[in-house]
Amino acid sequence: MRAIRSTSALVALLLLAGCGDLLNGVDSRDPTNLSYSITTETSTGTLRGVMLTWEAPRARDAWSYSVYGRPSTVGEWYLVGITTSTTFHDAGAPQRQYYVAARDADDSEFGRTRTITIEAPVSLAAPDALTGISLNRAVQLGWADNARISGGSAFRHYRVFSTAVTPSGGCDLGRWEVEGATGSNTFLVSGISNGVSRCFAVTAMSMSGVESAMSRAWIDTPRYDARHVVIDAFALRPASSGFIFHEAGANRFGAVVDGSRSDADFRVEQAQDGSFVIRAMRDAVRLAAFGSAPVPDLTSIDVAPATGYGASDLTVQPGHAYVFRIVRADGVRYGAVRIAYVAAGHVVLDWAYQSAAGNPELVVGFMP
């Protein structure tokens, strides 16, 4: 590296500057607004270097730029590199201070930026305990707030990433995409395809621009759902007493249909004592109660059970949930309903359906 004395360099630059126009004390031939950001490997948090950016001189064209650095706030400056752009990445451990000088077509330096000092990088802990809730075309993510709590004033925000799931069931580590940033330990990823699994991870960004290692990945699969669907008792209004989770011919989900249709998944019947039952309408449909206690919300119906399904009618109760195993030509699908309300002649329910074949995940994701 080439060393120069800071005082002699400053004198030379002042002589080159001459009597150029000044704006707020800055020579119009100087490059300006030098800033930096620390760069790290996203997956591991390993320091990669420092990215410098600046603005070109306003009054004179620069053919290239010399980037100078030094390991402390005193002593000699060294030529770190030359670039024709207004950015420069200094790989590895950064210098303590930098400045940038503009060069003309004869390789003479004619203006310089202010000196910037690189603050000691602070690396935060990787976020812990990432989990997700499957929603309709969305996934609600949440994680422990350990990076913010332990980082204190050094914490800036979290960054959320997603990538495709490989055929072997792992995460495609070469295709991480940024979903967004947040100051809290929750994030809603929306606008994604139902029935297609995605892999998610979170990092923590410090005020000094250092990104932590990624959290442990979480795989989740959005599914179709809807709330407050009215299903009438078959004896009272047969035309609106049946339900199909996925009506393939019309390519619609959650269809209220005539309870006598041969392709209906189930229909609602009202017994003589006034209670309501759910009746499976096809041999390919089996149903089971989801536990023995009420659930507070549709999102409480996590993973459909592997066994326990039957063809018998189930008496429904408000707040309780019921799951369905549906055999189709291309594989098994799972659905669920939660009874929100029981009224005279009808029930009001919320429903969810996982369109991915063989995937019992209705709400909560799973670790890879």
**pLDDT per residue as tens digits for the range 50-78:** 889 999 998 788 999 999 999 888 889 99
Q: Is residue 363 part of a domain?
A: no
Judge whether 15 lies within some domain.
Answer: yes
Assess contact for 45 and 203: CB atoms under 8 A: yes
> Contact, 84 vs 114, CB < 8 A?
no
**End-of-domain residue from the set 177, 194, 220:** 220
CA 261, 266, 272, 275: dihedral to nearest 10 degrees? -150
Name the domain boundary from 199, 220, 241. Answer: 220
Burial of 105 (0-12, 13-18, 19+ CB in 10 A): exposed
Question: CB 229: neighbour CB atoms within 10 A?
Answer: 16
Binning pLDDT at 50, 70 and 90, where does residue 42 land? low
Do residues 230 and 282 both lie within one domain? yes
- Residue whose token pair is 């000699």: 76
Residue 362 in any domain: the answer is no
List, for residues 281-321, the tens digit of each pLDDT value: 999 999 999 988 999 888 788 788 889 999 999 999 999 99
- The share of the chain scoring above pLDDT 70, in percent, equals 89
| Paired tokens of 8 | 């002699």
CA distance 245 to 14: 76
Please say whether the beta carbons of 151 and 239 come within 8 A: no
The Cα angle at residue 208 between residues 111 and 36, in degrees rounded to 5 = 20
- How is residue 180 written in tokens? 């967004």
Of 91, 117, 143, which residue constitutes the final position of a domain?
Answer: 117
Residues 216 and 239 in one domain: no
The whole-angstrom separation of Cα 224 and Cα 213 is 33
Give the model confidence (pLDDT) of 242-271 as tens digits.
Answer: 999 988 877 788 889 999 999 999 999 988
Nearest to 266 by CA among 353, 359, 194, 137: 353
365 within a domain of the structure (yes/no)? no
Domain count, the chain: 3
Q: Which residues are paired to 8 by β-bridges? A: none
Question: Do residues 123 and 136 touch, judged by C-beta distance below 8 A?
Answer: no
Residue 289 structural domain? 224-354
Among the listed residues 196, 234, 199, 116, the one whose alpha carbon sits nearest the alpha carbon of residue 366: 199
Residues 7, 85, single domain; the answer is yes
Do 90 and 96 meet the contact criterion of CB atoms below 8 Å apart?
A: no
**Number of C-beta neighbours around residue 215 at 10 A:** 25
Are both 239 and 346 inside the same structural domain? yes
CATH of the domain at 27: 2.60.40.10
Residue 152: pLDDT band with limits 50, 70, 90? confident
Confidence of residue 125 (pLDDT cuts 50, 70, 90): confident
Contact 53, 65 (CB under 8 A): no
**Residue 7, pLDDT score:** 41
235 and 332 together in one domain? yes
- Please give the structure tokens belonging to residue 163: 């990538």
Placement of tokens 């050094």 in the chain: 154
241 touches 267 (CB < 8 A): yes
Average pLDDT over residues 352-365: 74
